[in-house]
């Protein structure tokens, strides 16, 4: 079964959780351990990526360890076309819709498309929308961040992505954001589109994860928390709050 079909099937049973592992944040063995823990706690997929510092080498090694230690799909979350790994099960083939730079809207995709085809990586088409504060990814991506009090603008971007044929939309507040995407924005966007809605950035505890889920997120992404010591209990409570 394709990764996309697996995710769509699973979505019928409720919201999903994805664990984001940044290859630049720990060694491959630790990444494998995190993936194993996250799987045992019920995460639905492992995302692999970081906004800076991803190289062909750390990506390949991290992806291999993750594959060896998990029983869920691994999805590459690229920061550009410079690294691409056959050891991931799929790739978010994404465009940053609110970037001021054509690099992130289409040029990196043009640069990466031949390798995706050649490696036979499954593409998961996605429109990536950066919401304030946007953090590092907002800066690197030169995003015109969506103001937190403008859910209509977020929804217009999301609808435009859907109408262009994108099969998922990701609302991103930025890794480590002090606050996640506002709930009223999540629910407004969710009502405006019919493709799955992914939400991430600044979700650090079970209450926040539940709020994001209740607002209408189909997929809740957490990254930073697994980079901290003693992440197990936090990850467990977050996944529980999404699954109940």
Ligand X SMILES: O=P(O)(O)OC[C@@H](O)CO
CB of 202 to ligand X, least distance (A): 5
Positions in 90-129 near ligand GRG (CB under 6 A): 93-96, 104, 108-109, 112, 128
Q: Which residues make Cβ contacts (< 8 Å) with residue 233, sequence separation at least 6? A: none
Q: Any binding-site annotation on 236? A: no
CA–CA gap between residue 98 and residue 171 (Å, rounded): 11
Q: 10 Å Cβ neighbour count for 67? A: 17
Which of Mg ion, ligand GRG, ligand X, none is residue 203 near (CB under 5 to 8 Å by kind)?
ligand X
- Work out whether 202 is an interface residue with ligand GRG (CB under 6 A): no
Size of the site for ligand X (CB under 6 A): 13
Nearer to Mg ion among residue 77 and residue 157 (C-beta): 77
Residue 172 makes contact with ligand X by CB under 6 A: yes
CB atoms within 10 A of CB 219: 24
Q: Does 202 appear as a known binding residue? A: yes
Burial code (b: 16+ CB inside 10 Å, e: under 16) for 87-123 equals bbbbbbbbbbbbbeeebbbeebbeebeeebeeeebbb
Interactions with ligand GRG, residue window 138-197 (CB under 6 A): 140-141, 175
| Least distance to ligand X, CB of residue 222, Å | 4
Rounded to the nearest 5 degrees, what angle is found at the Cα of 144, between the Cα atoms of 141 and 148? 115
Can you tell me which of 7, 15, 20, 185 binds ligand X, judged by CB under 6 A?
20
Residue 138 sits in the site that holds ligand X (CB under 6 A)? no
Measure Cα distances from 69 to 29, 30, 151, 175, 239 in Å.
10, 11, 39, 24, 19
Piece of the chain touching ligand X by CB under 6 A; list 31-39, 158-166, 201-209, 211-219: 201-209
The minimum distance between CB 33 and ligand GRG, in angstroms, equals 18
Scanning the structure block, which residue is given the tokens 């971007």? 157
For the chain, the distance separating the N- and C-terminal CA atoms, rounded to the nearest angstrom, is 26
Residue 222, interface with ligand X (CB under 6 A)? yes
Residues 6+ apart with CB under 8 A from 240: 206
Residues that bind ligand X (CB under 6 A): 20, 172, 175-177, 200-203, 221-224
Q: Can you give the binding site for ligand GRG, defined by CB under 6 A?
A: 20, 22, 49-52, 77-81, 93-96, 104, 108-109, 112, 128, 135-137, 140-141, 175, 223
Binding-site positions for Mg(2+) read 22, 51
């Amino acid at each position: 079964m394709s990764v996309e079909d697996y995710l769509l099937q699973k979505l019928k049973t409720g919201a999903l959780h994805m664990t984001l592992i940044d290859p630049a944040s720990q060694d491959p063995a630790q990444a494998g351990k995190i993936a194993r823990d996250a799987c045992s706690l019920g995460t639905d997929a492992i995302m692999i990526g970081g906004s800076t510092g991803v190289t062909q080498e750390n990506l390949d090694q991290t992806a291999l360890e993750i594959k060896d230690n998990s029983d869920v799909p691994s999805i590459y979350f690229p920061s550009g076309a410079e690294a691409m790994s056959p050891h991931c099960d799929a790739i978010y083939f994404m465009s940053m819709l609110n970037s001021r730079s054509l690099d992130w809207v289409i040029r990196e995709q043009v640069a990466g498309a031949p390798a995706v085809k050649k490696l036979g990586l499954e593409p998961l088409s996605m429109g990536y929308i950066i919401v304030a504060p946007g953090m590092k990814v907002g800066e690197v991506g030169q995003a015109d961040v969506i103001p937190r009090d403008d859910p209509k603008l977020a929804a217009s971007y999301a609808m435009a992505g859907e109408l262009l044929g994108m099969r998922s939309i990701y609302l991103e507040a930025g890794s480590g954001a002090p606050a996640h995407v506002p709930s009223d924005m999540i629910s407004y966007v969710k009502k405006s589109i019919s493709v799955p809605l992914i939400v991430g950035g600044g979700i650090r505890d079970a209450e926040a994860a539940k709020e994001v889920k209740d607002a209408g997120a189909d997929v809740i992404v957490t990254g930073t928390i697994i980079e901290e010591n003693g992440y197990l209990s936090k990850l467990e409570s977050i996944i529980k709050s999404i699954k109940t």
